[in-house]
A and B are shown apart, each in its own frame.
Chain A
């Protein structure tokens, strides 16, 4: 398979000034990811992985460096272009699901799709994430796992180029977490979506095509995972 480069990150740095001290959240991170890959970014808390994800997702701007999605230089985008970028090309899945409390599961998905160009069929997506029966429930009537499924459906239905997941299993119990990972894997394969998951939970890396390890704001390792295993067999 001759995969094309989807995203290219070059010398990305992010410094925060906190009074007198400059915190270097991200230092010279560089890597490439390919179309259709399942990427896991692994690192302990404070390693800069969330900062990285925010910049890749167009929610934050770096101090230095470039992010290129295909030919577009995301880091040169204006505020307006970033909004459009988030709208059409990126899907987010958050640790705490972050659904709108007073919209039903289906409406939460529609909230995302009604502003983007080429959304997928919502009912199909909801069926595929296993929520056909519960799509008219409000978030408060759903379990954590179900809420995360809604969040995934919300991100997928936008039909983005890249799906960014920030600790998607962080708030879930083991069994539900595995189920979510299987779902992500399924989306990766069936919808042919490039997915990037950031986590501090090392065993999750076993299901990835590519594993990028981070520590103290630096990329310390970037490898293709040769012994990919099925998410159902992951244990922690």
Chain B
């Protein structure tokens, strides 16, 4: 082996602590890169494959009722290739625990094989007995321990049916099993989907030869929006309730967003980590070159070329980079596998398999190499300046300058000698100061962002369920009913308070911008909602006019005082124009709110309601479970419990991120301290000779680093805040608005953890200081 390479290997061995620190930082960056990228690719590719396999629909049209032949007529018109009618209805499932409320969505599937949204049979035979057999969606079956041969008792149109489970299936429509936009997280035990034969559904729901939903495939996906507009007009007479295009289809959208988040993470995180690693390497090599002045001079005297010597140092960074890349990508692939498996808990894609895309390993290695070579060149450029003749002479002492703080006499004269040394050491070496500043501030900023995200998730949910919505139970009827039903409810359960509600989807338009949302009609002075406008004022609903959630107003580009158009899906209704009286804050979901009387008058029929809000300590679910025409009873308590479970999963990923961010700060502080010690061997040895104890020297270095940590945190705060802004922007969408309080505790936790990692790095350097042989250092001239 070339002797220079041998020297390199021994160099790395000797400074293995530093090398490990840098390798870790690189490995983390590339681990995140590989894991996220591959998980995203795995999801995306199998998703597309699955959609192709199952002929995933492009458009869904929900109507009141449409005859089957009218559905067939749509084919080959307006760019539609295929249209298929189906019956979709949410019904309660009878379960043992009467307090529990379980909803299942019954979806009819046609008999032919060329189905749109074909189901994927996982277990069982499929439907044989068309009057009895059902296929159950896998997530739901698992959550409720439903097996083939089991009987499901459901109420359909008020009549009890005992259905036979003939198969367990997956559906491209319910990869992410969520009831609707308002639920936000899957509750596989509380909501399920079953598929039944066309005949059974039409009979039991009394549809005859008609359907209430159309699924459509189009020829050209770019035409979807046009076709949507067309359908809205053409199908108006059948009572179009809602048209959902592929991009907005709930399950598809949740997965697409997850994939996008993964891709974004795969872009940003590696750059931060590799950037810091490159910085550490550049500084390390520049220090090393400085320290190796004499050996470099000797090499030059022996006839080594500049390029040989520069390459020698670049190899050092390259070895570190490639080692980091190999470790990072390998762990990343493992993690990608684990992540993909984790996604399987949320996303049901039966064909999901874990592929390894080796070209991304190559690109990861290439990426690391580029960063490391650049860093190596930057750090090693000083080699060129070293003249062999000069390098043999001792270097001139560094110029001692007065630092700014010395001019402030009151402070300076009150500092003890060791503090004066600390101050001078910090401020004289500006490059090192900047280096540590960058490391600590980024570390702090990432910790800050992590805690913010955690806090926000918590805040959003607690704010929405508990502060914004304050009812114990939210009851929905399967069809609009007369207000009198409230009285019936009062008889059935022991109620503290009850209010009627109307919740119905409408298309809200402002010019060409439009959005289908649920408008909720409630009592003007409702006790079940707390509306807070953008000026933080608590408001009541107005007599006249409408109130929009912040994200809806933003989407439509309207504000208080503007007028919007509401387009009803109910046949023979004209559009109405209405003034926006206020815009309110809402963390989750997108809605509009009106006074119930006004809403009934203007948009529906007098006295019709679609549900009720209840406060009660009674066993509401049990007592109301047999009620006909009741689709769901949501209890706030349930939602909060489910969210807490969901949160415990998040906590583990949060703690991983915290550790990753901390390692960043650790690596920078550890490396700069080690470099500082070896560079200042002579200075520290002189202090030892003068009678300083090891402990005092250690404390001097700790003081230096702590002061720099304080500066790092000060610089890190604006960086962290800008990270938060960026994330708020990137992750807010129509379903939820990211808004968390940047509370004192976030600052406190981030600061504490930053300091913790800095102190940990210090403890690792303690050994080096204690091992410092000051006699040897003073007399040694061995390069």
A interface residues (Cβ-Cβ under 8 A, vs B): 50, 54, 57, 59-60, 80, 83-88, 90, 92, 94, 96-103, 107-108, 110-112, 114-116, 139-140, 147, 154, 158, 166, 171
Contact = CB atoms under 8 A, between A and B. Distances in A.
Contacts of A60: 387, 389
21 contacts: A83-B303, A83-B306, A84-B303, A85-B303, A86-B303, A86-B388, A87-B304, A96-B392, A97-B782, A98-B392, A100-B298, A101-B295, A101-B783, A102-B10, A103-B6, A111-B3, A111-B299, A112-B303, A114-B3, A115-B304, A158-B302
Contacts, number: 85
Given A87-B303, A107-B3, A112-B303, 15 more contacts: A57-B301, A80-B305, A84-B303, A86-B301, A94-B298, A96-B781, A98-B297, A98-B392, A98-B783, A99-B782, A100-B783, A103-B6, A112-B302, A114-B2, A140-B782
The CB with the most chain A CB atoms within 10 A, among B10, B297, B303, B392, is that of B303
Interface in B47-75: none
A218 to B, nearest CB: 20
B694 to A, nearest CB: 22
A142 to B, nearest CB: 9
B14 interface: yes
Contacts of A102: 7, 10-11, 14
Nearest to A144: B781
A102 B2 CA distance: 14
A111 B300 contact: no
A128 to B, nearest CB: 20
Nearest to B308: A115
B405 interface: no
A119 to B, nearest CB: 12
B663 interface: no
B4 A111 contact: yes
A116 B301 CA distance: 13
The 7 closest A-B pairs by CB, nearest first: A87-B303, A102-B10, A54-B389, A111-B3, A86-B303, A59-B389, A59-B388
Contacts of A158: 302
A80 B294 CA distance: 20
Nearest to B14: A102
A171 B4 CA distance: 27
A84 B581 CA distance: 86
B302 A99 contact: no
Given A100-B783, A140-B782, A59 B301 contact: yes
A115 B302 contact: yes
Contacts of A116: 303
Nearest to A164: B301
Interface string B275-317: 0000000000000000000110111111111101000000000
Nearest to A53: B389
B389 A98 contact: no
Contacts of A98: 294-295, 297-298, 392, 783
Given A96-B781, A98-B783, A111 B14 contact: no
A80 B3 CA distance: 22
Contacts of A147: 782
Contacts of A101: 295, 782-783
Contacts of B392: 94, 96, 98, 166
Contacts of B299: 111
B11 A87 contact: no
Contacts of B6: 103, 107
A54 B305 CA distance: 17
Interface string B763-778: 0000000000000000
The CB with the most chain B CB atoms within 10 A, among A57, A97, A100, A166, is that of A100
Contacts of B301: 57, 59, 86, 92
A139 B304 CA distance: 21
Interface in B733-783: 781-783
A103 B7 contact: yes
Contacts of B303: 83-88, 90, 112, 115-116
B387 A103 contact: no
A112 B298 CA distance: 10
Nearest to A111: B3
Contacts of A50: 389
Contacts of A54: 388-389
Contacts of B298: 92, 94, 98, 100
Given A59-B389, A83-B303, A103 B782 contact: no
A38 to B, nearest CB: 21
Contacts of A114: 2-3
A101 B15 CA distance: 14
A100 B309 CA distance: 14
A92 B302 contact: yes
A126 B566 CA distance: 97
A85 B304 CA distance: 11
Nearest to A87: B303
A214 B2 CA distance: 41
Contacts of A103: 3, 6-7, 10
B699 to A, nearest CB: 30
Contacts of B14: 102
B389 A99 contact: no
A100 B388 contact: no
Contacts of B306: 83
B303 to A, nearest CB: 2
A99 B783 contact: yes
A83 B306 CA distance: 9
B19 to A, nearest CB: 14
B396 to A, nearest CB: 12
Interface in B243-296: 294-295
Nearest to A82: B303
Contacts of A86: 300-303, 388
Contact of B7 (A80, A100, A154): A100
